[in-house]
């Protein structure tokens, strides 16, 4: 728990600090790729190992990460990410796993030359009181500007913290209920919604 929190006089996570310094909070990520930071935690009523395993298979991620089209394995520890961009385009980059502790955490960073330099980590911790697992996503990325800025804006729907929260909610729904809630009542509406 301690490695994603830096003690600064209270027990609140650094991602909730009023004056956010991204470099402190990403901890063992090393030098973060980018200088905007979001961190969100959700409680999922499932064991840590199960959640870790599901996330560690990156091909599962597009099911609940709204803007990720596909994640293809390149070789051990590296994967090719395709992410939605405006006007029906996509952007791609290669990510490397920088740390992998089974049942505990996965950290990754984009390789040099990525259109959208980014890095992140996902932590799995036992929730107190037998309530399952605390899943914390921490993502650092370069702030918007120019074309890439538009991509980012689309990717994070303008407000990265909101997008992270929504993605985590979808992950929770999939893990707890086996499906992702939708109010669509026809297949056509549903296709439009997930597109």
Strand order in the sheet with 105-110: 36-44, 133-141, 118-126, 105-110, 90-101, 78-84, 68-75
Q: Is-contact 140 118, C-beta < 8 A? A: yes
SS3 80: strand
Nearer to another protein, 80 or 166 (CB): 166
Nearer to another protein, 31 or 188 (CB): 188
Number of residues in contact with another protein under rule CB under 8 A: 27
31 belongs to the binding site for another protein (CB under 8 A): no
Closest approach of another protein to the CB of residue 43, in Å: 7
Name which of residues 146 to 185 contact another protein (CB under 8 A): 162, 165-167, 169-170, 172-173, 176-185
Joined together, the tokens standing for residue 36 give 């905007």
131 belongs to the binding site for another protein (CB under 8 A): yes
Nearer to another protein, 23 or 43 (CB): 43
CA 53, distance to chain mean position in Å, is: 15
Alpha helix positions (H), 65-186? 146-155, 160-177
Given the rule CB under 8 A, which residues bind another protein? 43, 45, 131-132, 162, 165-167, 169-170, 172-173, 176-190
């Amino acid at each position: 728990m301690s490695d994603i929190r830096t003690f600064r006089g209270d027990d609140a996570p650094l991602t909730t600090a009023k004056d956010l310094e991204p470099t402190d909070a990403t901890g063992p990520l090393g030098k973060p790729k980018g200088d905007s930071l979001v961190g969100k935690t959700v409680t999922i009523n499932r064991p840590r190992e199960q959640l870790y395993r599901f996330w560690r298979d990156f091909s599962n991620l597009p099911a609940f990460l709204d803007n990720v089209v596909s994640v293809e394995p390149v070789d051990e520890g590296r994967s090719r990410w395709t992410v939605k961009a405006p006007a029906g385009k996509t952007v791609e980059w290669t990510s490397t796993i920088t740390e992998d502790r089974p049942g505990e955490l996965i950290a990754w960073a984009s390789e040099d030359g990525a259109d959208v330099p980014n890095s992140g980590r996902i932590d799995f911790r036992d929730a107190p009181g037998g309530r399952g697992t605390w899943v914390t996503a921490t993502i650092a990325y370069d702030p918007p500007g120019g074309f890439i800025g538009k991509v980012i804006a689309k990717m994070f729907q303008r407000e990265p913290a909101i997008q992270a929260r929504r993605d985590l909610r979808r992950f929770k729904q999939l893990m707890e209920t086996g499906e992702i809630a939708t109010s669509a009542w026809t297949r056509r509406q549903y296709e439009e919604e997930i597109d």
